[in-house]
Amino acid sequence: MVAAQLHDRTTAWKQHEAAILGLARELDLPLSDVSQAYEKALQELEAQARIKDFLSVFACRRVRELVRHV
């Protein structure tokens, strides 16, 4: 059970890390800025989410929207 939970967290973190790197390239912004915006969006989404499978998709969308409105 513990191994499965650790695997799930590691897999989720790899997914989030890949999303952050992809956004930084796509938006041509510093990795630190994108990471900070992504993590903030992710925290807000996690607080409300019952199903967490697509959080990276929604966090990416929020970061893109923030960049477009700046």
Per-residue pLDDT of 10-50, as tens digits, reads 788 889 999 999 999 999 999 999 999 999 999 999 999 99
Kindly provide the residue ranges of all beta strands, DSSP E only, lying in the chain, ordered along the sequence. Answer: none
Q: How far from 70 is each of 40, 63, 66, CA to CA, in Å?
A: 16, 11, 6
State mean pLDDT over 49-70: 92
**pTM passes above 0.85:** no
At 24, is the secondary structure helix, strand, or coil?
Answer: helix
As a whole number of angstroms, the distance between CA 70 and CA 68 comes to 6
Query: What is the residue extent of each domain of the chain?
Result: 2-68
